[in-house]
Amino acid sequence: MFVSYVLIKMRKTIIAGNWKMYKTITEAIELANGVKRELFQMDSQNIEVVLCPPFTALAEVYEVIADSDIQLGAQDVYWQEEGAFTGEISCKMLKDAGCKFIIIGHSERRQFFGEINAFVNKKLKAALNSEITPIVCVGETLSEREGNRTFEVLGNQIKEGLDGITEEDVLKIVIAYEPVWAIGTGRTAKPIQAQETQKYIRNLLKELYNNDVAEAIRIQYGGSVKLENILELIQQPDVDGALVGGASLSIESFAGLVKIACGVKK
């Protein structure tokens, strides 16, 4: 009884900004400074905030946020620790740059860079070994949703992505449900659709692990989250935060999203 209470209380809302391939170093410093300024009174008991700039700006953004409760995240990683892997970057390097989170398996990586579930699994294990929190993205395309294959696709992404991950380790991850058709399109999943799908994910985690684990894992929603829709989305019982792309690129909108999320009591 005590254990499940503690686990449920661990589901602190998490809002992460995925800056994608935007922002020069100067622009990134400006954005991070502005977000920090806007959120200086943030109640970090209630909410966790993560900024995920491009690799080139990680170290500088870390400098800006190091004296705040805002955390740093990367957008991708390679699973080897070091070696002759031109163009890649390891968990060890990301940790050194100040990262506490890594986005893994984003649909843009899957779509444009051939990322498959087996790679997601290796990256996930590498992040866990380095004590960096993975934000594992899953989501269906429009044709998969229209073909009634959403649950099948998500089921495979989760089962293959989490293959071999222990109960102890799975508690350290965050899942981001991001329907591909909602990313960068302005077309958001209806709150009820997000809830239904995220409930499915939680039930699957229950099957794969157990109820306490499923209740403890945070599941974010991502896909055209903005000031106008965040409240209804994160009021859903199984939506524990948001992974935000476009609306994380301006100080006002990102800080505004965090403030709204901070006010939601579940």
For ligand PGA, the binding residues (CB under 6 A) are: 18, 178, 183-184, 222-225, 243-247
Active site residue 106: yes
Q: Considering beta carbons, is residue 28 or 225 the nearer one to ligand PGA?
A: 225
Nearest approach in angstroms of CB 144 to ligand PGA is 17
Q: Considering beta carbons, is residue 18 or 90 the nearer one to ligand PGA?
A: 18
Q: Nearest residue by C-beta to ligand PGA?
A: 245
Query: Given phi > 0 = left and psi -120 to 50 = alpha, else beta, which region is 48?
Result: beta
Nearest approach in angstroms of CB 21 to ligand PGA is 11
Extract the tokens encoding 62: 């870390």
Q: How far apart are CA 62 and CA 53, in angstroms?
A: 10
Q: How far apart are CA 95 and CA 89, in angstroms?
A: 11
| Strand-pair partners of 176 | 137, 220
- Contacts of 98 by beta carbon, 8 Å cutoff, 6+ apart: 58, 59, 62, 66, 72
Active-site pick, 108, 115, 144, 178:
178
Nearest approach in angstroms of CB 211 to ligand PGA is 29
Q: How far apart are CA 59 and CA 158, in angstroms?
A: 31
**CA count, 13 A, side-chain hemisphere, 199:** 8
Q: Considering beta carbons, is residue 138 or 214 the nearer one to ligand PGA?
A: 138
Q: Considering beta carbons, is residue 178 or 240 the nearer one to ligand PGA?
A: 178
Nearest approach in angstroms of CB 241 to ligand PGA is 12
Active site residue 178: yes
Give 239's DSSP letter: -
Residues with a known catalytic role: 106, 178
